[in-house]
Each structure stands twice: as C-alpha cells, then as structure tokens.
Amino acid sequence: MSPARKIALTPERIIRDPEFAKRLDSACTAGGQCPPLHKGRLTWVQNELKRRFKEEVSVETVRKWFAGEAKPRQDKVAMLAELLQVDMSWLSLGVDKGLAPREAIIKGREIRGAVNLVAGLIEMDGGHAAFASEVEQKRGVDLHAIIKGAKYDFAVVVAEDGVFRVPVSSEAVVLGTVKRGFTFEIYEIPESAIERGSNRGGMVEVKTSAKGLRRIQTFAQRLG
C-alpha cells in the first residue's frame, strides 16, 4: 500500500479593505507614472517609497495593500498620496467618492496646496499650525491652529467656478481660498452663509460672492 500523500494547504487570504485597494489601483492607473500591475508596479512603489521618503517596505507588504489584505498606517497613506498625487482623504477614506481618479488627482493637488498655503501664512504671522489626523479629516477638519492664544479647527476649501463646496459633515471653521494668478484671497465662510447655500450631494455650495463672507487679511490676530 502506497504511503498517504501529504496535501499542502494554502492559508486563506483575508481581504480586509477591498475599497482601499481599488482606490490605490485607480490612483496608480490614472497617474501615468506607475507601471501596470504584474509589470513592475509593486517594485516601483517599493523603490519610490524608499527613494523619496526613506521608507523601506517589502514587496509582499505592497502586494497586500493592492490586494486589500492590509491597509498601510496613516503615515504611509500620506506618502502614497503624495507619491501618486491624489487627495489623501480620498485615498484613505474614500471621501468624495463621486470623483474619478484623475479628478481626484487634480482636486488633491489643489486642496493640499491650499492647506499648505494657509498653514504657512499662519506660521508666518506668528501662529502655530498642525495638520489633522485621518479621523479628524473624516469629520471635515484639515488643520489645527493656535492664533494669539485661541485654538481653531479649520476646513480648507478651494473655489471652483465661483463656488466654494463645503462638506456637510465639517465640524470646523471653514476657510475658502480663491486663486487669481499668483494672488490669493482667503475668506472665512460663516455658518450663516453655509445655511443659505445649496446642498448638492453631501456638499453645500456657497458662491464666492455670497453675503457674509469675511476676507482674512492677516492671521496675526484672532478671527471673528
């Protein structure tokens, strides 16, 4: 009688976050820099994380991200978002799911630039600024600041076609930025203006010409 054959069982792979994996794949495909899947994509991501951020991860770890078997920590999500030039909130949480990946890339650049601009101006005027965590971003908070001893949570939005689109879920003071060439205008959008806006699928549209907007000329003094 022949000896019994041993059958090697492959451990079942658990898909923990398939939606993140889809967004990661879409960002790579839309960006144009990342090679196709199965043609060097995993190695490219591994190498770029090491080259640009001095962050070392294994190819197996990157594979798990794309397979949805694991989700990277928030600091690595931030690196991936910058690497692929997409909005971090979209990549991490799926915020603004109606955006196509290429639109998310453009929107991500604009919002990231606006948040950095506001943070820089606060620091230049003697205040302190810190970027919000993943959980806080889900609540619509982009930036924390201390201005003349007063603490603020800010949500930063960018004007598009004369309209600010404010997240309904925002729990922060909303700052709207308007870019005119290399000139920037920053407005505080009060709740009264948001209440008069038009609700469009989870976003409130407030015109840049709406009454009640307060233009901010300096962060060297408290708002309001």
Per-residue pLDDT tens over the stretch 80-114: 988 887 777 778 877 654 555 555 554 566 778 88
Q: Where are the beta strands (DSSP E) in the chain?
A: 128-131, 143-147, 150-158, 163-167, 173-180, 183-189, 198-200, 203-207, 214-215
Nearest Cα residue to 157 out of 139, 137, 174, 173: 174
218 pLDDT above the threshold of 90: yes
Residue 98: CB partners within 8 Å, gap ≥ 6?
201
Given a contact cutoff of 8 angstroms between Cβ atoms, the answer to whether 216 and 187 are in contact is yes
What is d(CA 142, CA 104) in angstroms, rounded to the nearest whole number? Answer: 17
What is d(CA 170, CA 185) in angstroms, rounded to the nearest whole number? Answer: 21
Which band of pLDDT confidence, cut at 50, 70 and 90, is reported for residue 198? confident
- The helix/strand/coil state of 115 is helix
The architecture that CATH gives domain 103-215 is 3-Layer(aba) Sandwich (3.40)
Given a contact cutoff of 8 angstroms between Cβ atoms, the answer to whether 166 and 179 are in contact is no
Which band of pLDDT confidence, cut at 50, 70 and 90, is reported for residue 1? very low
In this structure, of 23-27, 39-43, 134-138, 192-196, the range with the lowest mean pLDDT score is: 134-138
**What is this structure's pTM?**
0.56
For the chain, give every domain's residue range.
18-85, 103-215
